[in-house]
Structure 1
Amino acid sequence: MAHHSLGFVPKKSQKVSRTLMITYVPTDIEDPEIIIKHFHEAYPGCVVTRVHFCYDVRTLIDLDDQRRHAMRGRLFYTAMAKKTGKVMIRIHPCSRLCFCKCWTCFREVDAEQYYSELEEQLTDEFNAELNRVPLKRLDLVFVTFQDSRMVKRIREDYKFIQCGVHPQQSSVTTTVKSYHWRVAPAPHPKDIIWQHLSVRRFLWWARFLAINIFLFFLFFFLTTPAIIINTIDMYNVTRPLEKLQSPIVTQFFPSLMLWAFTVILPLIVYLSAFLEAHWTRSSQNLIIVHKCYVFLVFMVVILPSMGLTSLDVFFRWLFDIYYLEQASIRFQCVFLPDNGAFFVSYVITASLLGTGMELLRLGSLFCYSIRLFFSRSEPERAHIRKNQATDFQYGREYAWMMNVFSVVMAYSITCPIIVPFGLLYLCMKHLTDRYNMYYSYAPTKLNEQIHMAAVFQATFAPLLGLFWMLFFSILRLGPFHNITIFSLSTLLISIIIAIFGIFLRKLWMVSDYKPEEDEIQTVFDMEPSSTTSTPTSLLYVATVLQEPELNLTPASSPARHTYGTMNSQPEEGEEESGLRGFAGEMDSAQFQEGLELEGQNQYH
């Protein structure tokens, strides 16, 4: 993995961007010329080419999605009405559960009229919200400069602003309050999650800490897989399986349950990352990589190996002051070599059953079936089928693979038989992910930091194995045995080498890379301006603000004839062209966004 990561840097993927993301800009500034004047006076020679203000577009994006959905339904049923006549549908979400037509909530309505009226209503709400957007300014600004050297100069000036060092000032410093600014390189425009920019940093950190503290107490002390399995055993749930006297069932069922819980519990961790409202998709995936890996390693390896496998014993040891007087905790029973047999079964289960389940994608199939079951009309089902091809979740898959790799490395010394099965898992995982990425998932926009995070986690796995060897030697042979001293020395040397390698790699990434002139201009800056292409001045603007007019032209409702037209029915050519556009969008829209980034090396 480290050898493969050498292909990431140094190259154009580094953030040699001419755009800066500036936060804590006063929201009462409406004229971009004030920002331009500040940079011209404070930094002579710096030329600002574009200034983009950011707005709260959460409601606008939701309304835009809803009206696009209504427009697809209107186009679909308008074309169908011309062929088969009026189409009646039931619009209740649970209408497919009941076939009775007498209920009021399940009554049938004219499909074309319903979607036309819904489209008009949502379009009016969208236009009203679009007019209110300029009043919802955020304290976030994207500023593009003529040269990347100007960006470097400004970043160095703001590097120590949190330490009380004031940057250079201008005649409008008191107006723009540049001494409160925070300056950072601007992320890729398509990497920004625009609806999350309105979550302020204090609220973001409060939400982030609350979610992760809750997960910490939930997973570390209450619901580790080993605790769940032992709690189930307390109620004799697995007793019928033991009566079968089948070694296959009795030996593999606990590891199967451990694998099942290590799939379900990290899914909660994975979904919690979406509640944290990250500003960019790369940071969201990066958090998923680290958070899922830490939770998985603690749940699967560290806590069970340290003997934390029973809630009853844990709470008695934690809160009962007389417990240690009546009983003793035998730490000599921790890190037993016999634990390796349990984890061998776990790795075998993950290799054969886990990778097979990833090919089946039962979780995605279940969610897909539920969404289809509660869909109200054929356009909704077509939209669900189009959106079922999601991005490949590198963060979750990296964390899951590195967790199994850490299990293998942790017990590779005390239980060497686990190594061949670990190799089997890596081979099966490679083949499974290769197939899924090629045929099951949409192209993914990703920063190389995700891959580098997986490399660092792979570096931590051998250190975990050395830790296990050291603890095993201390408990079995004593702290002053030759093998214990050798294990400690090896561990310290390995940690020093790993830390030195990480810092050396980061230093090499920064110092060795020198951008060329053609790299300074990104693909967005080199885009020719024409009447047919999107203007470059709209690059760091939310897509919903770039394209307020839809390609699919909305039509008036058949029930309303107050628009002054001679014919209330839409033209046949217009509807057919709109339907063709709708069909083409259904076929290719999911993969178009990935193809747009095919020639860019910033995201892999």
Structure 2
Amino acid sequence: MDAVHYLSFQRHLIFLLVIVTIASLAVILPVNMTGDLYKNDLPFGQTTIANLQDGDNLLWLHSVFAVLYLILTVVVLRHHTSKIKGMRRETVRLTVLDFFSFLTPCLYACFKSYSEAYPNCTVCDVTLGYDVKRLIYLDKERIRAGKILHECKLKNTGEQELMNPRLCGQLCCCSSCEKVDAIEFYSTKEKNLLEKVREQVEDVPNHPLGIAFVTLQTEAMAKYILKDFNALECGGSSCCCCCDGKRQSSSMSKTLKVNKWRVIFAPHPKNVANLSVPDISWYVRYVAINIFILLLLTFLTTPTIIINTMDKFNVTKPIEYLHSPIISQFFPTLLLWSFSALLPTIVYYSTLGEGHWNRSREQLSMMRKLYFFLLFMVLILPSLGLTSLAVFFRWLFDKECVFLPDQGAFFVNYVITAALVGSGMELLRLPGLLIYTIRMMCARSAAERKYVKKNQAFEFEYGVTYGWSLCVFTVIMAYSIICPIITPFGLLYMLLKHLVDRYNLVFTFLSARLDRQVHLWAVNQALAAPIICLIWLYFFSVLRTGFWAPTSLFTLVVLCLTVFICLSYTFLNQFKYLSPLNYEQSLLFAALIFLHFCCLNCSRFTFPRCSFPNYLPDQLTKLNITFPMGRQRKTQSTAPTLSPTAASQLWTETRLMLKSKHLISECFC
């Protein structure tokens, strides 16, 4: 379904660009060519808005069309958003996440607390969170060794197959290298990994994360508890946003320190990752990585400045071929595109290093950062004249040289490069080919190479593709009025991008499971394109005609009104999560999550049979690591109350029993 949303988003942008292209070429371009400022100077300058005289009444047409483009963008994207919200992936459920500040040894105490505080809420399933990162890694390696061993046995023709056990053993030509039997090597490796997995399974209960996923019977129950936990502190007492209610409590609330729990919606089970990263460590990594990328971004624009400076100031006079138009016009855009193509890779791996708690937030952060960095590097700095040191000095001392006609040519060349070169490179997938080549070189045997060939596909990175496409779309819309000749090449880019992405989604990449918020945020970022067009048009009008010119005031009023509406919408969206009164949003799952529960007695918990998401990792499910008390259970109000000491002792005995049987309670990475 994510691929459907993504391709639908591209089709809506194509439809929008078709209308913008027709309007810009049929109306804006002829109007720009009626001017005479660049009649005998720059042929390309005659097609830009800079060709019109100051105070020309035709400038009103540009302001009106900018407003029309904004309205049209809102209408088209609104239609796309309505289709996203109308599609439901499966039964709607709600998930709540609790963060405990301590480890309680009594699961029954937690259930008793919620039974008293919320007597009408029925718990269907509980999945505890443990640090199983190492366990999942070992199990993946075990499965990998088992598959390679299977390939060796299938290929076995009765002759002993020898292999070099070292890394890149297939490339080693030394006769002195020791070779071993392939089947024996992978059999031993699989047994060793299986033993490590068993040891890790026994050690998992000693590493709780303080997180639990609790599924309720209905969505209304989950919303009710979430509303109660989202109460705000007001005047020393816990109350809702309207200060008309308190958080419900029970006899165990003070003992369990319920007031320190945090409750949020949880994503799809396949959307969860990196839960073992603590809060403090995550924030430190996040700040450090993003500061490094921000500093690196500064140096990514310097090659273009150097190339243009060499041509502008004739620094390299002995090298005559540097003065050709190809070097001064096409090569800077190609160089900038090359660095902007490198930026998604940098942002991708930096976002992975941040360790987000679910893949949707990871893709969302990737899309936001990539869009901001690309916009800053591709659109903002070149528009201010910072692609050339000579123009930089002109920009410092002459404010009317900010929007030069040759900058429009720069962006036209950039869009052409992105359409023709960029689409072809995405179809070739050279980074994936490089990774595949490295993996093949590191293979130790023919069976391992065959395994690499069968497992070379990766998930489609929606965050990277959204950020890249939206950056080019913003460039197109920002200059659709100032330089209307950019629009047909922008339409060509979107068409080629749509065809390439559709091919890759069907034949190349694996499917991904993301939250709808990723697609909705892409819509919000697309709305920034016509707003930037208004900003560019306003700056041009102020610099050419003055602040008090009618066109400047009209553009300023529309711009301020648009920004106010956008900010209000954004902040109201955020305030909605603080308010416990309204949760009318599209949710994927309705489960409640609680932390640090420990099963005391399996016979006391019999849950009703109902359908709920499985939050166990696939690796643990394959290992037959199940709940010690079963998957269906429900708390009984007649269960006896245990003292903390007795509960702790009972849990210790239960855990020892589970270890002896190699059973682990609800594990989660």
Q: 1:287 to 1:466 in 2, by over 3 A?
A: same
Cα separation, 2, equivalents of 1:25 and 1:34: 16
Indicate whether 1:17 and 2:90 are aligned.
no
Cα separation, 2, equivalents of 1:345 and 1:311: 19
Contact 2:96 2:213 in 1 (8 A): yes
* 1:86 corresponds to: 160
Indicate whether 1:414 and 2:446 are aligned.
no
Question: 1:162: Cα distance to partner?
Answer: 6.3
* 2:300 corresponds to: 224
The residue type equivalent to 2:148 in the other structure is G
Task: Give the % identical residues.
Answer: 40
Question: 1:125: Cα distance to partner?
Answer: 1.0
Contact 2:162 2:179 in 1 (8 A): yes
Cα separation, 1, equivalents of 2:535 and 2:498: 28
Question: 1:495: Cα distance to partner?
Answer: 2.6
* 1:260 corresponds to: 338
Q: Which one of the candidate residues 105, 112, 136 is aligned to 1:37?
A: 112
Cα separation, 1, equivalents of 2:317 and 2:173: 44
Q: Which one of the candidate residues 344, 350, 356 is aligned to 2:412?
A: 344
Contact 2:309 2:388 in 1 (8 A): no
The residue type equivalent to 2:110 in the other structure is I
TM-score, normalized by length of structure 1? Answer: 0.78
Q: 1:370 to 1:337 in 2, by over 3 A?
A: same
Question: 1:43: Cα distance to partner?
Answer: 1.7
Cα separation, 2, equivalents of 1:436 and 1:238: 44
Contact 1:17 1:186 in 2 (8 A): no
Q: Which one of the candidate residues 507, 510, 520 is aligned to 1:439?
A: 507
The residue type equivalent to 1:390 in the other structure is F
SS in structure 2 of the partner of residue 51 of structure 1: strand
Question: 1:413: Cα distance to partner?
Answer: 1.8
Indicate whether 1:331 and 2:423 are aligned.
no
Question: 1:170: Cα distance to partner?
Answer: 1.5
* 1:527 corresponds to: none
Contact 1:69 1:380 in 2 (8 A): no
Cα separation, 2, equivalents of 1:308 and 1:299: 10
Q: 1:162-210, CA deviations, whole angstroms, 9 ceiling, x for partnerless residues?
A: 66654322222233211100001221111111xx111112221221112
* 1:7 corresponds to: 83
Contact 2:286 2:354 in 1 (8 A): yes
Cα separation, 2, equivalents of 1:399 and 1:515: 23
Indicate whether 1:116 and 2:116 are aligned.
no
Q: 1:214 to 1:389 in 2, by over 3 A?
A: same
Question: 1:147: Cα distance to partner?
Answer: 2.3
Show the 5 A alignment for 1:373-452: 373-452=441-520
* 1:158 corresponds to: 229
Indicate whether 1:176 and 2:250 are aligned.
no
Cα separation, 2, equivalents of 1:306 and 1:514: 41
The residue type equivalent to 1:366 in the other structure is L
Cα separation, 1, equivalents of 2:383 and 2:211: 47
Indicate whether 1:136 and 2:212 are aligned.
no
Question: 1:477: Cα distance to partner?
Answer: 2.2
Question: 1:358: Cα distance to partner?
Answer: 0.9
Contact 1:10 1:512 in 2 (8 A): no
Contact 2:308 2:387 in 1 (8 A): no
Q: 1:479 to 1:520 in 2, by over 3 A?
A: closer
SS in structure 2 of the partner of residue 138 of structure 1: strand
Q: 1:208 to 1:191 in 2, by over 3 A?
A: same
Question: 1:547: Cα distance to partner?
Answer: 2.4
The residue type equivalent to 1:404 in the other structure is V
Q: 1:165 to 1:12 in 2, by over 3 A?
A: farther
Q: 1:233 to 1:503 in 2, by over 3 A?
A: closer
Cα separation, 1, equivalents of 2:349 and 2:611: 35
Indicate whether 1:198 and 2:273 are aligned.
no
* 1:187 corresponds to: 267
Indicate whether 1:276 and 2:354 are aligned.
yes
Question: 1:549: Cα distance to partner?
Answer: 5.1
Cα separation, 1, equivalents of 2:456 and 2:448: 12
Q: 1:203-261, CA deviations, whole angstroms, 9 ceiling, x for partnerless residues?
A: 21221112112212221xx2233x22223566899989861776455532111111111
Cα separation, 1, equivalents of 2:111 and 2:547: 66
Q: Between 330-339 and 162-171, report the one with greater CA deviation.
A: 162-171
Contact 2:216 2:590 in 1 (8 A): no
Q: Between 231-240 and 412-421, report the one with greater CA deviation.
A: 231-240
* 1:575 corresponds to: none
Question: 1:268: Cα distance to partner?
Answer: 0.4
Cα separation, 1, equivalents of 2:218 and 2:621: 25
Cα separation, 2, equivalents of 1:190 and 1:416: 45
Q: Which one of the candidate residues 503, 518, 524 is aligned to 1:456?
A: 524
Q: 1:16-47, CA deviations, whole angstroms, 9 ceiling, x for partnerless residues?
A: 425422112522x2442222111001122222
Contact 2:303 2:335 in 1 (8 A): no
SS in structure 1 of the partner of residue 213 of structure 2: strand
SS in structure 1 of the partner of residue 505 of structure 2: helix
* 1:99 corresponds to: 173
* 1:125 corresponds to: 196
Indicate whether 1:214 and 2:288 are aligned.
no
Q: 1:311 to 1:458 in 2, by over 3 A?
A: same
Listed as ranges, the gaps of 5+ residues in structure 2 are 1-11, 13-76, 239-246, 592-608, 626-669
Cα separation, 2, equivalents of 1:386 and 1:145: 40
Q: 1:79 to 1:238 in 2, by over 3 A?
A: farther
Indicate whether 1:364 and 2:416 are aligned.
no
* 2:26 corresponds to: none
The residue type equivalent to 2:296 in the other structure is L
Contact 1:38 1:171 in 2 (8 A): yes
Show the 5 A alignment for 1:541-552: 541-548=616-623
Q: Between 411-420 and 486-495, report the one with greater CA deviation.
A: 486-495
Q: CA RMSD in A?
A: 3.4
Q: 1:312 to 1:141 in 2, by over 3 A?
A: farther
Listed as ranges, the gaps of 5+ residues in structure 1 are 318-323, 523-533, 551-604
The residue type equivalent to 2:205 in the other structure is P
Q: Between 502-511 and 17-26, report the one with greater CA deviation.
A: 502-511
Indicate whether 1:63 and 2:117 are aligned.
no
The residue type equivalent to 1:337 in the other structure is P
Q: 1:365 to 1:506 in 2, by over 3 A?
A: same
Contact 2:125 2:612 in 1 (8 A): yes
Contact 2:309 2:389 in 1 (8 A): no
SS in structure 2 of the partner of residue 8 of structure 1: helix
Cα separation, 1, equivalents of 2:299 and 2:97: 41
Q: 1:242 to 1:471 in 2, by over 3 A?
A: farther
Indicate whether 1:146 and 2:222 are aligned.
no
Cα separation, 2, equivalents of 1:124 and 1:355: 48
Q: 1:31 to 1:265 in 2, by over 3 A?
A: same
SS in structure 2 of the partner of residue 6 of structure 1: helix
Q: 1:249 to 1:308 in 2, by over 3 A?
A: closer
Contact 2:96 2:214 in 1 (8 A): yes
Cα separation, 1, equivalents of 2:262 and 2:582: 24
Question: 1:312: Cα distance to partner?
Answer: 11
Q: 1:405-441, CA deviations, whole angstroms, 9 ceiling, x for partnerless residues?
A: 1111111222111111111111111111111111111
Q: 1:410 to 1:233 in 2, by over 3 A?
A: closer
Q: 1:464-489, CA deviations, whole angstroms, 9 ceiling, x for partnerless residues?
A: 01111111122222222222222212
* 1:602 corresponds to: none
Contact 1:344 1:418 in 2 (8 A): yes
Question: 1:305: Cα distance to partner?
Answer: 1.7
Cα separation, 2, equivalents of 1:491 and 1:10: 31
* 1:557 corresponds to: none
